[in-house]
């Protein structure tokens, strides 16, 4: 495993898994900077978001995240699971006027509450299955190419 701040070793890998937390509907700033440095590699994305994983926001966040990679990268797949929302974000949202797009609503407060218990064991099992599937597909593609 290579930290996003130490990407020099990435050129030695045949496949890169990139993880990040969703911030403002895309990869967080540190991840974006790292992703831009990865070029010409098959990649797989995994992330966490305060949104429900099956929501349009989560799907769009993965698409925007995928666009952060450098030239020539091929995204083999992506996985997103719910993750706890930053308490500072919640505090700021609670202070917003009711007509603000991030103001608390009963639905948003429920989602924040639901997100607080994630990632959970089921999320980790699903992430493991995702990673295995990517690896198996990648290995299959190598054996059919050669």
Contacts with 83 (C-beta within 8 Å, 6 or more apart), sequence order? 21, 48, 49, 50, 115, 118, 119
Q: Residue 57 is part of a domain; what is its CATH number?
A: 3.40.50.360
Check residue 146 and give its pLDDT: 57
Number of domains in the chain: 1
Q: How far apart are CA 51 and CA 61, in angstroms?
A: 10
Does residue 137 fall inside a structural domain? Answer: yes
Q: Residues 34-67: pLDDT tens digits?
A: 999 999 999 999 999 999 999 999 999 999 999 9
Check residue 88 and give its pLDDT: 92
Does residue 105 fall inside a structural domain? Answer: no
**Residues 6-21, mean pLDDT to the nearest whole number:** 82
Count of CA atoms in the C-beta half-sphere (13 A) of 113: 7
Give the CA radius of gyration of the chain.
Answer: 17
- Domain span at residue 54 reads 7-83+118-145
pTM of the full predicted structure?
0.86
Check residue 1 and give its pLDDT: 55
130 pLDDT more than 90: yes
Does residue 135 fall inside a structural domain? Answer: yes
For the chain, percent of residues with pLDDT exceeding 70? 92
Does residue 57 fall inside a structural domain? Answer: yes
- Give strand ranges (E) for the chain: 16-23, 26-27, 42-49, 74-82
Does residue 110 fall inside a structural domain? Answer: no
Q: How far apart are CA 84 and CA 82, in angstroms?
A: 7
Does residue 71 fall inside a structural domain? Answer: yes
Q: How far apart are CA 146 and CA 136, in angstroms?
A: 16
| Phi (first) and psi of residue 23, to 5 degrees | -135, 120
Q: Are 11 and 70 in contact (CB under 8 A)?
A: no
Does residue 61 fall inside a structural domain? Answer: yes
Q: Residues 93-102: pLDDT tens digits?
A: 999 998 988 8
Q: Residues 101-126: pLDDT tens digits?
A: 888 999 999 999 999 999 999 999 99
Does residue 112 fall inside a structural domain? Answer: no
């Amino acid at each position: 495993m290579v930290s996003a701040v130490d990407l020099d070793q990435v050129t030695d890998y045949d496949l890169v898994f990139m993880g990040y937390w969703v911030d403002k509907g895309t990869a967080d700033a540190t991840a974006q900077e790292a992703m831009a440095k990865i070029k010409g590699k098959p990649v797989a994305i995994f992330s966490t978001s305060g949104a429900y994983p099956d929501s349009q926001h989560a799907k769009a966040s993965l698409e925007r995240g995928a666009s952060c990679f450098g030239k020539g990268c091929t995204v083999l797949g992506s996985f997103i699971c719910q993750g706890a929302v930053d308490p500072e974000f919640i505090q700021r949202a609670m202070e917003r006027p009711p007509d603000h797009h991030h103001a608390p609503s009963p639905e948003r407060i429920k989602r924040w509450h639901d997100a607080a218990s994630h990632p959970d064991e089921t999320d980790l099992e699903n992430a493991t299955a995702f990673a295995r599937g990517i690896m198996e597909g990648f290995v299959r593609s190598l054996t059919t190419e050669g």
